[in-house]
Amino acid sequence: MRALVVDDSRAMRSIIRRHLDELGIAVDEAGSGAEALFVLNHIQTPDVILLDWNMPEMNGLECLRRLRADAATANMRVMMVTTESEMAQVALALDAGADEYLMKPFDRQALLEKLLLIGLDPGRQAA
């Protein structure tokens, strides 16, 4: 199983990477939405993209919209991982095509629960 973590905070990418590593999920990283779109053309297709909302250059919502508009990425699972906690923001992300929404801060168990909700079970990977 593989994930692309997109966040402008190196520290947050490191935290998410640690949680994913503990779940046995390989991780690629990008520091912005624009970088994520570039990276996707150069890596193995991820099972999930964990996408921050507030980033420079291209925010997560714009990145999500571009992912959904491109036939090559339209069906990728995308989880917004953000401090945006207002219900209107959650609804906006879900309407734009996010598969799930995880609010920062979170722990490994919360991340696992969200992965399970979108149909990814790290515990059932082939050995």
Would you list the domain boundaries of the chain? 2-113
- pLDDT confidence of residue 111: 96
pLDDT in tens, 60-89: 999 999 999 999 999 999 999 988 778 888
Residue located via tokens 């515990």: 123
Q: Classify 57 in phi/psi space as left (phi over 0), alpha (psi -120 to 50) or beta.
A: left
What is the spatial distance between Cα 30 and Cα 51, in angstroms, rounded to a whole number?
9
State whether the Cα torsion 92-98-61-90 is positive or negative. positive
> What's domain 2-113's architecture?
3-Layer(aba) Sandwich (3.40)
Q: Is the pTM of this model over 0.85?
A: yes
What is the spatial distance between Cα 72 and Cα 41, in angstroms, rounded to a whole number?
10
- CB burial readout 14-34, b (16+ within 10 A) else e: ebbbebbeebebebbbbbbbb
The residue-averaged pLDDT of 36-43 equals 94
Cβ pair 48, 79 in contact under 8 A: yes
Instruction: Look at strands 26-30 and 100-103 and give their pairing.
Output: unpaired
- pLDDT confidence of residue 52: 95
